Amino acid sequence: MPFSLFDLSGRRALVTGSSQGIGFALAAGLAAHGAEVVLNGRDRVKLDAAVRQLADAGATVSASDFDVTDAEAVKRGVDAIEAGIGPIDILINNAGMQFRTPLEDFPADRWEQLLKTNISSVFYVGQAVARHMIGRGRGKIVNIASVQSELARPGIAPYTATKGAVKNLTRGMATDWAKYGLQINALAPGYFRTPLNQALVDSVEFSAWLEKRTPAGRWGDVEELVGAAVFLSGKASSFVNGHTLYVDGGITTSL
């Protein structure tokens, strides 16, 4: 059946940073296509609320609250999921943060925090999960990149650096792990209405600029990322590896 290419039944997905925003939308989307989902975040209250919301919608869902910026905590958390919940078939590396200020004033501690949250976490969780996937000879890893993997804007140079690194780490993961039956790709959102972007959403000036700059003429809705995530998580992408898929209303294609 053609739709089996997008059927995630019998698969288990770990989604980092999934108590809200893009991570929550992706977890909900994977669950709607049949996957069991494991939510991850550091705020247990928000995480439990997200679990209840998905469970009420009929999803098979659980939570794991390890810190993705701590390599040892990641290993313990991933091993605990594998032993106590079941094999991780799909990993969505979504955890991330943003901090905006002119580059000449950018605090060193914020630089270090961005590196740990946006790129070290992708390495730590990706490696911990891949070690289990390699033994099974299959697995899907989707790293969340950004239009800032290609483009820059004033005040976010360190964020741009981290998302460029996510794109190239994705290529490296595919180069090393494709031979074991894994597919590792990146999903790169454009400008979406999320808590991370709330200050920009609330800015009349920025929203007007964005609508003019984006060929589609609007902000994206997080549900519009689900199709791409399901594609990269299922059978349909069995020979797609090291690719970055931009879901951005055309902003990276047009001046």
Measured CA to CA, the distance from residue 87 to residue 6 in angstroms comes to 20
Contact 88, 38 (CB under 8 A): yes
* Chain centre distance of CA 9: 20
- DSSP per-residue string spanning 38-97: EEE-S-HHHHHHHHHHHHHTT--EEEE---TT-HHHHHHHHHHHHHHT----EEEE----
Q: Shortest CA distance to 101 belongs to which of 21, 147, 158?
A: 158
Contacts 24+ apart (CB under 8 A), 9-12: 9/34, 9/35, 10/34, 11/35, 11/36, 11/89, 11/90, 11/233, 11/234, 12/36, 12/37, 12/38, 12/85, 12/86, 12/87, 12/88, 12/89, 12/90
Name beta bridge partners: 183.
140
Q: What are phi and psi of 106, to 5 degrees?
A: -70, 125
Whether 124 is catalytic is no
Catalytic residue (one of 159, 180, 191, 246): 159
> Pairing relation of β-strands 12-15 and 90-93?
parallel
Measured CA to CA, the distance from residue 29 to residue 146 in angstroms comes to 19
Active site residues: 159
